[in-house]
């Protein structure tokens, strides 16, 4: 008989894959701009360095959180909460950068909105699917 910790519902399965996939794409895209040379950075336009670095480093946390959620580990839910909070704070700092007249790309607004929404949804699903079932 499977214990609740061994059972993985379809939503936990899906958010695990989303987190890992999102993380790998984030690492690839961020790494390309950060380490790809001047021509790549020029093509990226008015990227905001602190947002780019945050997203690149967070990509590794996405992969770890996704793996932990796949294994239904309670710590992975808390990592997801931390990712969601840190993303929201970085988005707020980005908003202050924009408000103060800093250069930016509209795609950064869209990307940060999407990242914040995705991680809030992952937290909501993970909380219900992992923490509440293991309590």
DSSP per position, 50-116? HHHHHHHHHHHHHHHHHHHHHTT-HHHHHHHHHHHHHHHHHHHHHHHHHHTT----HHHHHHHHHHH
Taking only the tens place, the pLDDT of each residue in 107-130 is 999 999 999 999 999 999 999 887
> Per the confidence metrics, is the pTM higher than 0.85?
yes
pLDDT in tens, 5-50: 445 689 999 999 999 999 999 999 999 999 999 999 999 999 999 9
């Amino acid at each position: 008989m499977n214990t609740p910790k061994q059972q993985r519902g379809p939503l936990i399965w899906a958010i695990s894959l989303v987190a890992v996939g999102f993380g790998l794409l984030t690492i690839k895209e961020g790494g390309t701009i950060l380490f790809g040379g001047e021509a790549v950075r020029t093509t990226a336009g008015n990227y905001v360095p602190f947002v780019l670095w945050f997203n690149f480093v967070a990509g590794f946390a996405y992969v770890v959180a996704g793996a932990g959620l796949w294994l239904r580990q309670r710590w992975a839910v808390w990592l997801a909460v931390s990712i969601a909070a840190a993303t929201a704070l970085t988005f707020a700092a980005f908003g202050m950068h924009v408000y103060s007249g800093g250069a930016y790309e509209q795609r950064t607004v869209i990307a940060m909105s999407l990242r914040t929404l995705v991680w809030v949804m992952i937290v909501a699903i993970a909380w219900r699917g992992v923490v509440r079932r293991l309590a």
